[in-house]
Structure 1
Amino acid sequence: MEKISIYHTNDIHSHLMNWPRTAKFLRDVRSFHENQKEEVLIFDIGDACDRVHPLTEATNGQAIIRLLNDAHYDAVTIGNNEGIGSTKYQLNQLYNDADFKIILSNLTDKDTNALPNWAVPIKIYKTSSGSKLGIFACTIPLTVSYDPLGWNVEDPFKTIERILEQYQGIVDNWILLSHLGIDYDRKIAEKFPELNVIIGAHTHHLLPEGEYVNSSLLAGAGKFGEYIGQINIEIENQKIVKASAEVIDIEKAIKPVKDENILVHQYTQLGHELLQEQKIADIPDTLEADWKQCTNFVNIGLDALCNYAETDAAILNSGLFLQPIIEGSVTNDDLHRALPHPMRVLKYTVTGKQLKELIYSMETQRARLEPLPIKGLGFRGKIFGKICYKGIQVTENQEIKFNGKSIREEADYTIASVDHYLFVPFFPIIGEKSDYQVLFPHFLRVVIGNYLQKQYPIK
């Protein structure tokens, strides 16, 4: 009987509060098992990077990869934060310093139709007993985002079918690193009983004892580096005969390392310092932030959206603007603090009739939305705030106008907003009835930063 221990993390999202002890723990367990002549594998299942952290933003994620090196992972896969939180160039550079394999089976470069050169589609580990363990990985197929960035992302069911067929008779046991979400994982387990273990991510699910679906063990270690997953496998006659899962509560079970708080503070401080070195504009007046008002900062944002999307109208909510930018020199640190959201510009076209429906819907919900707490879906603030328009007017008698003119119901009107409006449930007309396009590659803060750079160049 051969035993293999697998440790896994997922969806850390650059939450580094527990990282020093996590890295030490993973190094220590590797040493422990290796000293006992036992097999051990360590994986991360994606979304280790999140540009909400200043160190991630300042280094385009490369500093996070160097931190992952400290944990001595065998391999990682990418999540959507790595995949679509980066431009194609940034993703191609992200793993330059990685000391581990990057396994990714369902993403190819649109220019070459080949896997990027920083990834492998599968890694086969041969255990001491001679069993061949096939590890492959799928990331969530967000085609609408990957496609304009220059990537083809394949349906994971097609990928899995192809890999299993290609390596039939070669691989004895299968483990899928899945940045797909728990619903995908369950459906995959139903369809592909050959998969012994599916280690999950993306939906931040925590499975304290795992979950069996069909003959597959599903595992998931929550989010934000709060847990480490552990899977224990027993192999007999080169086949997995038993697999069990548990999770380790990092704060409760693992002691902090010396000066941990200082280290974690230094990660953040270094990120801010690097961003402060990146000067982009010199503004004559302070840009105010107040979720109760459509401030001059929001108005600059609306102007920037119209300029970038080439539209005459734009809509933003004031709660996106988290803090003011003081007059004088503007740095990328200022913009990152004020606009930490991983949001892109959304350009959409509706008929005049649909535009009226949309604006009436916004006006009807205005009082409810303004103080409403919002969490997730790309939003890194607290309150939705005031709905603010450029190019759209609502008169005292509730007539809606577009650039001062009455709206013709059969005509088409194009507006710029943020892709967040596709995901929140408040404005379904945008997702269901408009002809929309998410503009790549820039995040909202970069769009506004580039606009400031043009309007107020450094003196």
Structure 2
Amino acid sequence: METLRILHTNDLHSHFENFPKIRRYLKKVQETALEDQVLTFDAGDFMDRSHPLSDATEGQANIRLMNDFGYDAITIGNNEGISNPHEVLERLFDQAKFPVILSNLLEEDGQRPAWAHDHLFLTTKKGTRIALVGLTAAYPMTYGPNHWQVKMLGETMDRVMADIKGQYDLLILVTHIGVRMDKWLAQHYPEISLIVGGHSHTLLAKGIKERQTWITQTGKWGYYVGDIELALDDDHHLLSIKPHTIPTSSLPEEEGDEAEIAKLYDLGQQMLENHKVAFLPEKFNQDKMAAVDVSLDAIADFAGTDLAMLSTGLFLTPFKSGVINQFDLQHALPHPMHVVRSTLLGRDLWRLVMEVEKNRHFLEHYPLVGMSFRGKIFGQVYYKGIKYDMLTRNVYVNGQLLDPAKEYEIAVLDHYVLIPFFPTLSIVGENKFLFPQFLREVVGDYLSKKYPIPKESDLIEESEEVGSSK
């Protein structure tokens, strides 16, 4: 008889406020469990650049913190794979004390990344052979422009299953593909005993069983920790799997937790504040529309278009006048979104505008979740170069009536392509995803060119002039 215990996390998204409690729980179980062996996994999206320290360190702070969690293996999520430029992901795990398993992501030349294992074999203290396979969400539309090859799940699993055949007693998948696709895997690959999952932010408090496979997931942001008990007989045959989850809120808080959490945020803020971006005129002072207008110009300039579209919910705070730094931009625009240049025939551009106008009042206060959005509501949509006449339903482009047969290019965000409210973009748009800069980096680069920071002496003179005018 053999007993195993599997601890797991997923979709932590740099919510460091839960890290102290999670760390203590994992360590306590790892050190005191009565089971024969404890294994610990993470199922991706551990990093989110909406936290200033993750952004400032390009995820290295996350790796340092996770090294204390005692992971036996992790896989990556779309936040690590798509929200990071290619070169950042290449060096993300340089200091990691845990292996990364990832079967369906390759370099552009078809080689496996140096930091990833196609699969791993673990042998327990009592001789059970465990095969570990890692999978991430297969998004070719966004992985491709970021210079990765992402493989489809079925193609990958067919290959891996052939490679590992006869070499394991227990097959465990660590996946960042969501519950729906986890169920698909369970239906098509009955050899899988357990899936430790993520991506869909689904809380499976006691797991679910799909045919012969148990599927587990802990929701999001470290609100829960997964804890699974397994039993095997002396011949290494699986007898039982009993998943459950522990609410992080139920774990004891210790003196120093709040100070540790605050220190991580403050350190990231200080690092970002050291990088000055631009010197904005008075018109930007707490005026959200000024921020929207200049950001429309920024994405249009970046995409090389005359037209652009943005929504106000993206701007969590307005910009300010005077010196603006990377923290100001990160605080205002925390979303890991990329600009897309979409080419549409005039009749399809007209349809896109109709979709926007039809949904305008609904979206203004809509509490949008997911699709890289880090705000609270979608907000109002504003255009650059486009006017809509509500009475005639005519659309004007740069002052001219839209030509239904002419091609137009418009700068939008990958967010708008992915959400369901503007299907024209995803169905008929010829979409070019522009990597690697984020939205806020695109805006920051434009601001730095349009409103460069004056020399220090000029700033002193301006300050003196302001003082003497009072």
TM-score range relative to shorter protein: over 0.9
CA distance in 1, matches of 2:285, 2:367: 21
Residue pairs, 1:78-117, within 5 angstroms = 78-111=76-109, 113-117=110-114
Residue pairs, 1:152-163, within 5 angstroms = 152-163=149-160
Residue identity matched to 2:45: D
In the TM superposition, what is the alpha-carbon distance from 1:75 to its structure 2 partner?
1.3
2:57 equivalent to 1:59: yes
CA distance in 1, matches of 2:313, 2:44: 29
CA distance in 1, matches of 2:286, 2:308: 18
Partner of 1:452: 447
2:132 equivalent to 1:138: no
Q: Which of 217, 222, 236 is 1:220 aligned to?
A: 217
Residue identity matched to 2:178: G
Q: Deviations over 1:327-361 (max 9, x none)?
A: 22221101001101111112111111122222233
Residue identity matched to 1:127: T
Q: Which of 63, 75, 78 is 1:77 aligned to?
A: 75
2:430 equivalent to 1:435: yes
Paired residue secondary structure (1:280): strand
2:316 equivalent to 1:318: no
Paired residue secondary structure (1:102): coil
In the TM superposition, what is the alpha-carbon distance from 1:288 to its structure 2 partner?
5.0
In the TM superposition, what is the alpha-carbon distance from 1:286 to its structure 2 partner?
4.8
Partner of 1:411: 406
Q: Deviations over 1:344-386 (max 9, x none)?
A: 1121111111222222332343333333333332222223222
Residue identity matched to 1:442: Q
2:378 equivalent to 1:384: yes
CA distance in 2, matches of 1:145, 1:328: 36
Q: Deviations over 1:183-233 (max 9, x none)?
A: 111111111111111111101112122111121111111111011111111
In the TM superposition, what is the alpha-carbon distance from 1:176 to its structure 2 partner?
0.4
CA distance in 2, matches of 1:289, 1:429: 34
- Structure 1 alignment gaps of length 5 or more: none
Residue identity matched to 1:425: P
Change (3 A) 1:166 1:369: closer
CA distance in 2, matches of 1:161, 1:424: 31
CA distance in 2, matches of 1:163, 1:361: 43
Residue identity matched to 1:5: R
In the TM superposition, what is the alpha-carbon distance from 1:124 to its structure 2 partner?
1.0
In the TM superposition, what is the alpha-carbon distance from 1:396 to its structure 2 partner?
7.2
Paired residue secondary structure (2:69): coil
Residue pairs, 1:288-367, within 5 angstroms = 295-367=289-361
Q: Deviations over 1:142-163 (max 9, x none)?
A: 1111111111111122222212
Residue identity matched to 1:123: L
CA distance in 2, matches of 1:378, 1:290: 24
2:22 equivalent to 1:28: no
Q: In the comparison of the two structures, how many residue pairs are matched?
A: 452
Q: Percent identity?
A: 38
Give the TM-score normalised by the residue count of structure 1.
0.95
In the TM superposition, what is the alpha-carbon distance from 1:289 to its structure 2 partner?
5.5
In the TM superposition, what is the alpha-carbon distance from 1:257 to its structure 2 partner?
2.6
Partner of 1:209: 206
CA distance in 1, matches of 2:209, 2:361: 46
CA distance in 2, matches of 1:104, 1:364: 42
Q: Which of 119, 123, 128 is 2:125 aligned to?
A: 128
Partner of 2:66: 68
Give the TM-score normalised by the residue count of structure 2.
0.93
CA distance in 1, matches of 2:441, 2:336: 10
- Structure 2 alignment gaps of length 5 or more: 455-470
CA distance in 2, matches of 1:133, 1:118: 21
Partner of 2:144: 147
User: Is the CA contact 2:285–2:321 (under 8 Å) kept in the aligned structure 1?
Assistant: no
Q: Which of 234, 245, 248 is 1:247 aligned to?
A: 245
| Root-mean-square deviation (Å) | 1.6
Residue identity matched to 1:370: E
